[in-house]
Amino acid sequence: MQDKREGMDLPQAIFSLIFIIIMIFSSLWIMRPFFLGFAWASMVVIATWPIFLKLQILLWGNRACAVLTMIIILLLIFIIPIVCIVNSLIDNSTSVISWLNSDNLKFPDLYWLQEIPVIGSKLFSSYQKLLNEGGSELITKVQPYMGKTTEFFVIQAGHFGRFIIHLVFMLVFSSLLYWNGERMRNVIRHFAVRLGSHSGDSVVSLAGQAIRAVALGVVVTALVQGILGGIGLAISGIPYSSLLMMLIIVFCLVQLGPLPVLIPAIMWLYWNGNTTWGTVLLIWSCIVCVLDHILRPVLIRIGADLPTVLILSGVIGGLIAFGMIGLFIGPVVLVISYRLISSWMDEIPAPSSLSKDSIEQFLLKDKIKKND
Question: What gap in Å lies between CA 294 and CA 77, rounded to an integer?
Answer: 24
Q: CA 369: distance to chain centroid?
A: 48
| Least confident stretch, 81-90, 188-197, 286-295 | 81-90
Question: What gap in Å lies between CA 39 and CA 29, rounded to an integer?
Answer: 15
What percent of the chain lies above the pLDDT cut of 70? Answer: 68
Most confident segment among 13-17, 42-46, 55-59? 55-59
Q: How far is CA 206 from CA 193, 199, 265, 310, 353, in A?
A: 14, 10, 41, 13, 28
Residue 172, pLDDT > 60, answer yes
* pLDDT (0 to 100) of residue 67: 92
Phi, psi of 6 (to 5 degrees): -70, 135
Residue 206, pLDDT > 60, answer yes
- The amino acid sitting at 343 is S
What percent of the chain lies above the pLDDT cut of 90? Answer: 12
Using pLDDT thresholds of 50, 70 and 90, give the confidence band for residue 26: very high
Nearest to 303 by CA among 334, 333, 331, 329: 331
Nearest to 331 by CA among 323, 319, 340: 319
Contact present, 112 and 106 (Cβ < 8 Å): no
The predicted-structure confidence for 90-100, as pLDDT tens digits, reads as follows 565 555 555 55
* pLDDT (0 to 100) of residue 177: 92
* pLDDT (0 to 100) of residue 39: 84
Question: What gap in Å lies between CA 233 and CA 225, rounded to an integer?
Answer: 12
Mean pLDDT throughout 221-240?
88
CA atoms within 13 A on the CB side of 249: 20
* pLDDT (0 to 100) of residue 298: 81
Most confident segment among 83-87, 186-190, 215-219, 244-248? 186-190
Residue 370, pLDDT > 80, answer no
**SS3 per residue for the chain:** CCCCCCCCCHHHHHHHHHHHHHHHHHHHHHCHHHHHHHHHHHHHHHHHHHHHHHHHHHCCCCHHHHHHHHHHHHHHHHHHHHHHHHHHHHHHHHHHHHHHHCCCCCCCCCHHHHHCCCCHHHHHHHHHHHHHHHHHHHHHHHHHHHHHHHHHHHHHHCCHHHHHHHHHHHHHHHHHHHHCHHHHHHHHHHHHHHHHHHHHHHHHHHHHHHHHHHHHHHHHHHHHHHHHHHHHHHHHCCCCHHHHHHHHHHHHHCCCCCHHHHHHHHHHHHHCCCHHHHHHHHHHHHHHHHHHHHHHHHHHHHHCCCCHHHHHHHHHHHHHHHHHHHHHHHHHHHHHHHHHHHHHHCCCCCHHHCCHHHHHHHHHHHHHHHHC
Residue 273, pLDDT > 90, answer no
* pLDDT (0 to 100) of residue 320: 79
The predicted-structure confidence for 156-165, as pLDDT tens digits, reads as follows 454 556 667 7
Q: How far is CA 187 from CA 95, 191, 202, in A?
A: 52, 6, 14
- The pLDDT mean for the chain works out to 76
Task: Give the number of other CB atoms < 10 A from CB of residue 155.
Answer: 10
Mean pLDDT throughout 186-195?
85
Mean pLDDT throughout 54-64?
90
Q: Residue 198, exposed/middle/buried by CB under 10 A (0-12, 13-18, 19+)?
A: exposed
